[in-house]
Structure 1
Amino acid sequence: MVSLDRFDTFKAVVEAGSLTAAADLLGQTRAVVSFNIKRLEAELGVTLLTRNTRRLALTEAGERFYQRCLSMLEEARLAIDEARSEHTELKGTLRITTTVEYALAKVVPALELFSALHPDLNVQLSTSSTHADLISERFDVALRLGRVLDSSHRAVQLCTFGILPVASPAFVASVVPIDSVHTLEQTPWLEHGRVGELTITEVSSGVVRPYQPNPCKARIRADNSSVLQAFALTGQGVAILPDWLIEEDLRTGRLVHLLPEWQLSRQGVYALYPDTRHLPLKVRVFIDFMKAYA
């Protein structure tokens, strides 16, 4: 009988694109991965992959078998999850990815409680400013902020948070008084690469209008809120930052909240997971926990 472990190895090789990359993902040596692929082909009596010095390619039989593998592995994992659901404690490994700053501010404290509830579940947390590929990098769930662009994945909104225009007192003192939305839009600013179009609402009247900072006034562009926070603290311009990131800076006066009578559109926190037919129990439990924790 063909081992499901070899199915998983074959799937990893196809999605990683090479034996070496698959070995890294699986935590095995390249030789072990190569051996398991050869054994799988021998047991099936068919060639699944063609190899040369530069790349791997699926044969027609390999393409059909790969699609079957996805279905069979999903069914096997579902059966395991259902069996484990009879117990109060989860087991196995839950792999999570998110940004560094959100991990430090929100995820680490949440995981302290979550791990206490499920001590037999091993949690692996990866942090990066770039969006990881959930499939090829074998993540169970990604926690992402702002816009959700991964249409191939399913998303559950966990909560929302406010974003605030802030600057250092020294920067505020060096520019024309920021006393209106128009003035704010014309002030030198620090751009976040993944914040899309925004609206701004007058709190007292409820009037909503687009927020359109002058593109010529963008001094620095970055994809990391902590980096923009650092630039704002050194007086480089206005930054739009999450409220949970700058609470201490506002409290101590290191940063100033500009135009507090206006409110920028709130942003979402989303849990993304691969679009599979059945949501693994460990992912469902974690998402439910994070919704309640947030």
Structure 2
Amino acid sequence: MVSLDRFDTFKAVVEAGSLTAAADLLGQTRAVVSFNIKRLEAELGVTLLTRNTRRLALTEAGERFYLHCVNMLEAARLAIDQARSDHTELKGTLRITTTVEYALAKVVPALELFRALHPDLNVHLSTSSTHADLISERFDVALRLGRVLDSSHRAVQLSTFEILPVASPAFVARVPSVNSVQTLEQAPWLEHGRVGELSITEVSSGTVRPWQPNPAKAGIKADNSSVLRAFALTGQGVAILPDWLIEDDLQAGRLIHLLPGWQFTRQGVYALYPDTRHLPLKVRVFIDFMKAHA
């Protein structure tokens, strides 16, 4: 009988694109991965992959087998999850990816409680300013902020948060008064490379207008909110930052909330997971938990 472990190895090779990348994902040596692929082909009696010095390619048989392989692995994992569903403890490994600042502010404290409830579940948390590929990098769930643009995955909204225009007291003291949206748009500002178009709403009247900062005033651009916060603290411009990231800075007076009578478009926190037929129990339980802690 063909081992499901070899199915998993084959799936990893196809999705990673090479034996070496698959070995890294699986935590195995390249030789072990290559051996398992050869054994799988021998047991099936067909060639699944063609190999040369540069790349791997699926044969027609390999393409058909890959689709069946994915379905069978999903069914096997679902059977395991259902067998464990009568117990409160989860097992295995949950692989999560998110940004470093959100991990530090929200995910790490939440995981302390989550792992106390499920001590037999291992958690691998990866942080990056870029969006990981859930399929090729074998993540179970991604926690992403802002707007969800990737339609190839399922998404569940966990919560929303405000983003606030802030600057240091030293910056506010040396620039012309920021007392309107127009003056805010003309102020030197710190741009987040991953924030898209925004609108801004006057709280008292409900008036909505697009946010149109002067591109010439964007002296610094970064892809990380923590880095922009650091620039703002040193007085280098206005940054638009998540409320959960700068709460302590506002209370301590290290940063000042500019134009509190106006609000930017609220941002969402989303859990993304691969669009599979069955949602693994560990992912469903984690998502439900994060709805209460995001």
- Establish whether TM, by shorter chain, passes 0.5: yes
Match of residue 208 from structure 2: 208
TM-score (norm 1): 0.98
Report the Cα offset of residue 212 of structure 1: 1.1
**2: CA distance, partners of 1:85 / 1:257:** 47
Measure how far apart 1:18 and its partner are. Answer: 0.8
Aligned partner of 2:253 in structure 1 is: 253
CA distance in 2, matches of 1:211, 1:130: 24
Q: Once superposed, which parts of structure 1, at least 4 consecutive aligned residues long, lie more than 2 Å away?
A: none
- In structure 2, the residue matched to 1:64 is 64
Mapping 1:93-112, distance limit 5 Å: 93-112=93-112
In the alignment, what sits opposite 1:220? 220
1:149 aligns to what SS in structure 2?
coil
In the alignment, structure 1 residue 22 sits paired with structure 2 residue 22: yes
For residue 196 of structure 1, what is the aligned residue in structure 2? Answer: 196
SS at match of 1:246: helix
Instruction: Name the SS for the 1:119 alignment partner.
Output: coil
Which residue number corresponds to residue 144 of structure 1?
144
Aligned 1:116-127 pairs, distance under 5 A: 116-127=116-127
1:257-272 matched pairs, under 5 angstroms:
257-272=257-272
Task: Say which SS state the counterpart of residue 241 (structure 2) adopts.
Answer: strand
Structure 1 residue 210, shift from structure 2 partner: 1.2
Partners of 1:93 and 1:268 in 2: CA distance? 26
**How far does the alpha carbon of each residue in 1:36-69 deviate from its partner, in whole angstroms, 9 at most, with x for none?**
0000000010111111111111111111111111
Structure 1, unaligned stretches of length 5 or more?
none
Deviation at 1:202, TM superposition (A): 1.1
Q: Distance in 2 between matches of 1:279 and 1:45?
A: 32
Write the distance in 1 (CA, Å) between the matches of 2:201 and 2:63. 52
Q: Give the Cα–Cα distance (whole angstroms) in 2 for the partners of residues 66 and 157 of structure 1.
A: 31
- 1:57 partner letter: A
SS of match in other structure, 2:244: coil
Secondary structure of the 1:136 match is: coil
- Number of residue pairs matched by the alignment: 294
Distance 1:120 1:108 in 2: 17
Q: CA deviation at 1:174?
A: 1.6
Q: Output the amino acid matched with 1:209.
A: R
Structure 2 unaligned segments of length 5 or more: list them: none
Question: What residue in structure 2 maps to residue 31 of structure 1?
Answer: 31
Residue 244, structure 1, aligned to residue 247, structure 2: no
Cα RMSD (Å): 0.8
Is the aligned partner of 1:130 residue 2:109? no
Matched, 1:8 2:8: yes
Name the CA distance, whole Å, in 1 between partners of 2:163 and 2:169.
19
Distance of 2:257 and 2:293 partners within structure 1: 27
Distance (Å, rounded) in 2 between the aligned partners of 1:292 and 1:167: 31
Amino acid at match of 2:38: K
CA-to-aligned-CA distance 1:153-173 (integer Å, 9 cap, x gap): 010000000100001111111
Per-residue displacement from partner, 1:238-266 (whole Å, max 9, x unpaired)?
Answer: 00000010111111111111001111111
Deviations 1:5-49 (A, max 9, x none): 000000000111111111110011111100000000000101111
By how many angstroms is 1:293 displaced? 2.0
**Shift of residue 292 of structure 1?**
1.6
Post-superposition CA distance 1:199-241 (Å, at most 9, x none) = 1111112211111111121111111000000111111110000
SS of equivalent residue, structure 1 residue 244: helix
The secondary structure found in structure 1 opposite 2:220 is strand
User: In structure 1, what is the Cα distance between the partners aligned to 2:150 and 2:201?
Assistant: 28
Which letter maps to 1:269?
V
